[in-house]
Amino acid sequence: MAYSKKVVDKFENTLNNPEAFKVGRFDPKDANVGTGMVGAPACGDVMKLQIKCEPKGNTHVIKDVKFKTYGCGSAIASSSELVEMLIGKTLEEAKAIKNVEIVDALELPPIKIHCSVLAEDSIRQAIEDYEAKQ
Amino acid sequence: MSTQSTIYLDYASTTPVDPRVASKMMEFLTPEGEFGNPASRSHRFGWKADEAVEEARSHVANLVNCDPREIVWTSGATEADNLAIKGVARFYKSKGNHIITSKIEHKAVLDPCRQLEREGFEVTYLDPDEKGVISPNAVKSAIKDNTVLVSIMHINNELGTLNDIAKIAEVTRENKIFFHVDAAQSTGKVEIDLEKTSVDLMSFSAHKTYGPKGVGALYVRRKPRVRLEALIHGGGHERGMRSGTLATHQIVGMGEAFRLAHKEMKEDHKKISKYHEKFLKKVKEIDHVYINGDLNNKVPNILNISFNFVEGESLIMGLKDIAVSSGSACTSASLEPSYVLRALGRKDELAHSSIRFSFGRFTNDNDVNSTLDILGNVVHRLRELSPLWEMHLDGIDLDTVEWNAH
């Protein structure tokens, strides 16, 4: 499978510099933290996404993000790409993110579109978790 | 061996052509060389080419101890498997329509079997044991009155495990059933003696043994005689079993490669065993590593390892300057993890996490040392990225988690 240079670069940068690329975790019990985890080991990918938010006006803003991903190179690149899109966004803006934005940004091949869907689902779940705590 | 700083550890997929083989092949192409058609009986161009083809045939026969007249040239092991399975099944269909094979065969065996099922044959797919071995007893108990053919591979291409083909052959001979063996991974790795072993048909490939791609052979036993229906008609070459002008340079290449394999098998084996041992020792130092296959019953050139909590394709991408292959779904077009590892009863996640390293004649100390240096580091970094590793460290049993699968 030939990946775009963007996938390869994103994957390698994330692997070589995990902290800068927001690899890690927040305490899931923290009231400011929302956690989403999608996928299954048997399917070959699991994405865990955590958002740390702050109230702003009548909404909440994503101040920081952490993630961990088990999966193929494009699953890791897709999570990393999503994470970059999230910081500074309001929850409404984050909910509006569509998987095609990740597909376009990374030039994912058709067989890997699944990875971007997983990323989209992880942010939805993380927001749901956060909102349930408020 | 490495080119452009990429280390090649995927010899089970294909091998480079040995330079000695390539130079021999060059003698059979150009106007100055012996370019004739081996089927031309009326001039020396034909005679010379025919001589070269027959010499190559005897080199192949010599490696596996059979009569050269029992060797039929094909385009590769895939064609040889097709010819053996479809050829025998169709020729003997009035005698019976049941075939026995295994779940861990190469697709070149499984797909012809599927085709025969569409033609009305019945196929039994045997399960291997958890080490990837097909037992002679399993074959025996699957035999029915209408069984005509058994097809079991010698060395599994993903695991390197060996099946006891001599024992299976005793079972098939006793029951007067034909026995085909896919030996694409065997030549130059283990000794094969077809005089002592009652195998009826055996498939070979040139490009797994330092010969060129695009050529292989099928061994077809003469005593007791095995007959088969040809797949390709037109000219009656190879005693009607495989028509088509013989590709002299390819065949000469295969012959030379097999001659060298016979001569250098011990030497190759010794060197590769040393690398295997070193690799294994070092890999075992990494936590949660599983060796797939049977360490006590395998060839040393193939080593299949699952690195738990790390997905295979991402590991391959992390090992970017090392050429290896994976049982991970993500490296295949089908998105299914390795059917071979699944047939062993390995959990899907371990199949997703598997990597096959395969060594060969041109592997050197530097290839092995550099790979081992990089491997532990990349596994560690991918685990730092893995939520499964994090959960494992937190003491969570991943089997008890309710996954939000897609």
**B313 close to A (CB below 8 A):** yes
Q: Which of B313, B331, B381 sits opposite A15 (nearest CB)?
A: B381
**A28 close to B (CB below 8 A):** no
The region, left, alpha or beta by phi > 0 then psi within -120 to 50, assigned to residue A60 is beta
Residue A71, phi then psi, degrees to nearest 5:
165, -175
In chain A, residues 40-79 whose CB comes closer than 8 Å to chain B: 40-48, 68-76
Q: Which distant-in-sequence residues (6+ apart) come within 8 Å of A11 by Cβ?
A: A73, A74, A76, A77, A80, B314, B317
Question: Among all residues of chain B, which has the CA nearest to that of A79?
Answer: B385
Kindly list the catalytic residues of A.
43, 115
ipTM: 0.94
Low-confidence ranges of chain B (pLDDT < 70): 1-4, 328-335, 406
pLDDT at B299: 98
> What's the mean pLDDT when you consider all of chain B?
95
pLDDT at A115: 87
Per-residue pLDDT of chain A (134 residues; tens, 9 = 90+): 578 999 999 999 999 999 999 999 999 999 999 999 999 988 889 999 999 999 998 999 999 999 999 999 999 999 999 999 999 999 999 999 999 999 999 999 888 888 889 999 999 999 999 999 98
How close is the nearest chain A Cα to the Cα of B325, in Å?
12
Question: Among all residues of chain B, which has the CA nearest to that of A74?
Answer: B314
pLDDT at B329: 58
| pLDDT tens-digit map of B273-328 | 999 999 999 999 999 999 999 999 999 999 999 999 999 999 999 998 999 988 76
| Cα angle B181, B157, B308; round to 5 | 145
pLDDT at A2: 75
Contact at CB, B387 and A47, closer than 8 angstroms: yes
- Collapsing DSSP to helix, strand or coil, B332 comes out as coil
Mutation target vs A (from B335, B386, B391; most A CBs, 10 A cutoff): B386
- The string of DSSP letters for A66-133 reads EEEEES-HHHHHHHHHHHHHHTT-BHHHHHT--HHHHHHHHT--GGGHHHHHHHHHHHHHHHHHHHHH
| pLDDT tens-digit map of B60-72 | 999 999 999 999 9
Q: Which of A1, A15, A44 sits opposite B311 (nearest CB)?
A: A44
Size of interface A-B (CB pairs under 8 A): 104
| pLDDT tens-digit map of B137-179 | 999 999 999 999 999 999 999 999 999 999 999 999 999 999 9
SS3 per-residue string spanning B217-262: EEEECCCCCCCCCCCCCCCCCHHHCCCCCCCHHHHHHHHHHHHHHH
Q: Which two tokens stand for residue A111?
A: 């067989």
Question: Among all residues of chain B, which has the CA nearest to that of A17?
Answer: B381
